[in-house]
Structure 1
Amino acid sequence: MFVLIAFWTSYYGRLSAPMDFEVHFHGITMTLWSIMLIGQAFFIRFKKRKLHHFAGKLSYLLVPLIIISGFNIAHYTIQNVPVGHPARYYQAALMYNSIIAFAIIYGLAIYFRKNPKMHARYMICTILPLITPISDRIIYKYIPALVSYAPAADGIRMVPALGFLIGQIILISLIIWDWKKNKQFNAFFIVWIPLTIYHFSVLNFYRYPFWQKFTEWLMSLPLS
């Protein structure tokens, strides 16, 4: 629902309009991932184990495509920002590092695939690094008054920080719930580590010379 609301005017509502390959590639892969997560929840709920396992195997094909499309759309977007501008390095951390965090969490889900409860927790959390494309669009389009509450640095209004706050609230709530109900302090807390590092990187790395150099190296690659 939130995905449709966020991307209706910019993507789903104008599928017949001319759009670059990079936009469709990323849009299709992320739409398929959203459908897969919802489908997997239904398959587990209604004990459709064969369908669940089949969809899980399909993810081995889909996730590499998500990673490729993520790097592709990041390169495509960032190349339009001038070299040396803080927004170039901020967007690099926002887009590239979200894909890395997603890949780490998905990798943990696959590693624990024989432990259903752990596997499910990690799979649910794969959406957390990908919240900001949704939250940013909803805020800008429907709740613009919130933009002024986002932190600003070097002239950049960091609206994704509001999405990060949502992600942190969700994850910390899950950590507390899991501890109170199941006396477990593992999966959700482990996810909190790469997610928090990702959030820190977006809010801070754009100022660091090492990240600026790394970004320019990435942008020199033929990723789009």
Structure 2
Amino acid sequence: MPYRHAHWFLLAIFPLAALAFWPGYLATIGTAPLQMHAHGVTATLWLLLLIAQSWTIHTGHNALHRALGAWSLALFPLFLAGGSMIFLGMAQRYVEAPSPFYPMYAPGLAWIDILSVAAFAWCYYAALRTRRQVQLHARYMLATVLFLLPPILGRLAPILPPLGIGGPEDFWKLGIGFQLGNAITAAIAFGLALRSGRHGRPFFLAGAAIVLGGLLFQFLGPLPAWRQLFAQFAGLPPMPLALAAGLAGAGIGYAGWIGGRRPIAREMAA
């Protein structure tokens, strides 16, 4: 099984995430909106799941590893539902403009979210479908973590003195920070792909999706037509949207699980 010590690296994400989300979420957790709780809880549970999956398979607890894999079929739809709530909340704050941050960045960040969630879903589907192919299965599952890194690294970027934020007049620097987070994550993904040799496809696809998300953030996010369309999403009802995302997640999980029962095509194992 590859990546014997992956769980230790995944554990290291928690203090980084706590530092990154302290000002905007953890410090005001009692008054944070429901969509932030939904996304925060499901993302945390997903990371804990991958840590447990890595530890169990490398310590000989194979039955528990398989049981946790089955539980992921329930967690994944909840993760997508939470992600849809974040998207909706971002659109609402773009319209309400409680801070200059949202008119500046919400439409662009929406593209990063769309690409990240779509690629996350593909990696999970492929992980289920290749669960009998150890090298690919492990890499597809670990690739899902990469999509959690850009929001963390982007929020940590202002720690660097040149990107420090003293007030709204410095908000233009946040765009640089977001792209720096994308660039670092993409570099990690492509580095892992190169080290994986012929099994590097999961990490390469993750890196490509992160690069594409950064390009859409930069070039499509500011377009007036997209900003007008994005504002329309603010009027969507939250519960039906979350339910639709959850049902889509259940369908993706089911398709991957059923697909994994059949022989894997040669190109999937390459």
TM-score, reference length from structure 2: 0.69
Tell me the residue number matched to 1:78: 91
Do residues 145 (structure 1) and 173 (structure 2) align? Answer: no
Do residues 2 (structure 1) and 16 (structure 2) align? Answer: yes
* One-letter amino acid of the counterpart of residue 3, structure 1: A
CA offset at residue 209 of structure 1?
A: 5.6
* One-letter amino acid of the counterpart of residue 176, structure 1: L
Map 1:107-122 → 2, pairs under 5 A: 107-122=125-140
CA offset at residue 221 of structure 1?
A: 2.0
| 2:163 and 2:173 in contact (8 A); partners too | no
CA offset at residue 78 of structure 1?
A: 2.6
CA offset at residue 71 of structure 1?
A: 1.1
| 1:102 and 1:130 in contact (8 A); partners too | no
CA distance in 1, matches of 2:24, 2:105: 21
Q: How far does the alpha carbon of each residue in 1:47-71 deviate from its partner, in whole angstroms, 9 at most, with x for none?
A: 2111111111111111111111111
Structure with greater helix share of residues: 2
Against the structure 1 CA distance between its residues 18 and 104, is the aligned structure 2 distance closer, same or farther, given a 3 Å change threshold?
same
| 1:90 and 1:206 in contact (8 A); partners too | yes
* One-letter amino acid of the counterpart of residue 16, structure 2: F
CA distance in 1, matches of 2:86, 2:133: 34
Tell me the residue number matched to 1:48: 61
Query: SS of the counterpart of 2:221?
Result: helix
Do residues 166 (structure 1) and 170 (structure 2) align? Answer: no
CA offset at residue 163 of structure 1?
A: 0.8
| 1:67 and 1:99 in contact (8 A); partners too | yes
| 1:79 and 1:219 in contact (8 A); partners too | yes
Q: Which runs of 5+ in 2 are unaligned?
A: 1-14, 97-101, 166-171, 240-270
Do residues 38 (structure 1) and 45 (structure 2) align? Answer: no
CA offset at residue 190 of structure 1?
A: 3.3
TM-score, reference length from structure 1: 0.81
CA distance in 2, matches of 1:47, 1:222: 46
CA offset at residue 79 of structure 1?
A: 1.0
* One-letter amino acid of the counterpart of residue 79, structure 1: Q
| 2:136 and 2:199 in contact (8 A); partners too | no
Q: 1:223 aligns with which of 216, 225, 238?
A: 238
Map 1:182-221 → 2, pairs under 5 A: 183-208=198-223, 211-212=226-227, 214-221=229-236
Against the structure 1 CA distance between its residues 192 and 7, is the aligned structure 2 distance closer, same or farther, given a 3 Å change threshold?
closer
CA offset at residue 164 of structure 1?
A: 0.7
- Measured on the aligned residues, the alpha-carbon RMSD in Å equals 2.8
CA offset at residue 74 of structure 1?
A: 2.0
Against the structure 1 CA distance between its residues 101 and 214, is the aligned structure 2 distance closer, same or farther, given a 3 Å change threshold?
farther
Against the structure 1 CA distance between its residues 29 and 108, is the aligned structure 2 distance closer, same or farther, given a 3 Å change threshold?
same
Percent identity (aligned) = 27
Q: Which runs of 5+ in 1 are unaligned?
A: 149-154
Against the structure 1 CA distance between its residues 217 and 115, is the aligned structure 2 distance closer, same or farther, given a 3 Å change threshold?
farther
CA distance in 2, matches of 1:53, 1:169: 31
